[in-house]
Structure 1
Amino acid sequence: MKTPLRLVLLSALFTTTLAQAADLIPIDVHRDANCGCCKKWISHLESNGFKVNDHVEADMSAVKQRLGVAPRLGSCHTAVIDGKFVEGHVPADQVLALRKRNDLLGIAAPGMPMGSPGMEVDGRSEAYQVIGLTREGKDVVVAEYPAQ
């Protein structure tokens, strides 16, 4: 009698795990092997429902150029979701919002703002913006984060 019950329980666990894995949102992250803050941003994404495909790159400049990330929007890592770029330490909620913005080619948190996801250091923070790049090549502010 124990065996059938155990199989039912294992089957339910397996089915639940598969369903949870299917609910994760896939995103590709391109980063330099020597950057620790990139790994912290990846952890931020994973804790917010993303399935990260981590790509360690030898030439991030070439990756950014290929994906259309303007130098003025640059940061340390570049992600791709639904064919759009996500540059730098963009909060997960803004990555999710990007999926609904057909007017944008991508979004960026230029530089490496202290206090942004992955850049939490000694409680320091600075105000920063998430900038969207329109299909016409214009920058638009899609979110603002005050210093804490």
Structure 2
Amino acid sequence: MKSHLLALLLLASSTSLAGAAGQKVDVVLNEGCMCCHEWIAHMQAAGYTVTSTELDYDAITAKKKEVGIPEEAVSCHTAMVGGYAIEGHVPAALVDRLLAEKPDAVGLAAPGMPLGSPGMGSDASAEPFDVLLIGKDGSTSVFATVEPDRG
């Protein structure tokens, strides 16, 4: 996992990486969810300042609806950064790209819990996954496809 995430970080421009330094990320997550804590550590390692709140299922579901996450894009945790929602195990480099490009959108989502995404396992179990851009009308389109580094 570290090698394919490192490749993503290297693809991000130095301007977007500099913009991440100290950028505040607010995360709501299920009580006791370890993979969510691993994603938080991934974001912190990328230079983000992260605060988290553990909530029960109903409160998290309400938060997802409030910020505009469509049902087909749902994952385990929801974060807010720079006015955008980040749903699930989205790599930090793609959050960097989102903040640099500033599309008119709700945010990004890595639906489900893709194996090999930040917080979800190692290179041995990694599989390709799509990160979706969520439109303000609830539509989704592929923002990026993350390929595991098998080399």
Q: Which residue of 2 aligns with 1:50?
A: 48
Determine the structure 1 residue equivalent to 2:8. none
- Could you tell me which amino acid in structure 2 is paired with residue 125 of structure 1? A
Equivalent AA in structure 1 for residue 80 of structure 2: V
Number of positions where the alignment pairs a residue of Structure 1 with one of Structure 2: 126
Letter in 2 for 1:25: Q
Q: Does 1:141 align with 2:142?
A: yes
Between the aligned partners of 1:90 and 1:78, the Cα distance in structure 2 is: 10
Matches within 5 A, 1:100-115: 100-115=101-116
| Contact 1:115/1:124 (8 A) holds in 2 | yes
The one-letter code of the counterpart of 2:62 is: A
Query: In 2, Cα distance between the equivalents of 1:34 and 1:28?
Result: 17
d(CA) in 1 for partners of 2:84 and 2:23?
A: 14
Cα-to-partner distance string for 1:10-60 (whole Å, 9 max, x where unaligned): xxxxxxxxxxxxx41111011011211000000000000000011111221
One of 10, 31, 34 as aligned partner of 2:32: 34
Q: Deviations over 1:42-101 (max 9, x none)?
A: 000000000001111122111111111111000000000122100000000111111132
CA RMSD, 1 decimal: 1.4
TM-score, normalising length: structure 1: 0.79
User: Is 1:66 the counterpart of 2:66 in the alignment?
Assistant: yes
Name structure 1 gaps, 5 residues minimum: 1-22
Q: Does 1 or 2 have the higher relative contact order (CA < 8 Å, sep 6+)?
A: 2
> Which sections of structure 2, spanning at least 5 residues, go unmatched?
1-20
Conservation of the 8 A alpha-carbon contact between 1:98 and 1:104: no
Larger radius of gyration: 1
The 3-state SS of whatever aligns with 1:119 is coil
| Percent identical residues | 37
Kept after mapping to 1: 8 A contact 2:134/2:141: yes
**Residue 95 of structure 1 pairs with residue 95 of structure 2:** yes
The worse-fitting range, judged by mean Cα deviation, of 119-128 and 39-48 is 119-128
| TM-score with structure 2 setting the length | 0.78
Distance 2:142 2:93 in 1: 15
SS in 1 for 2:25: strand
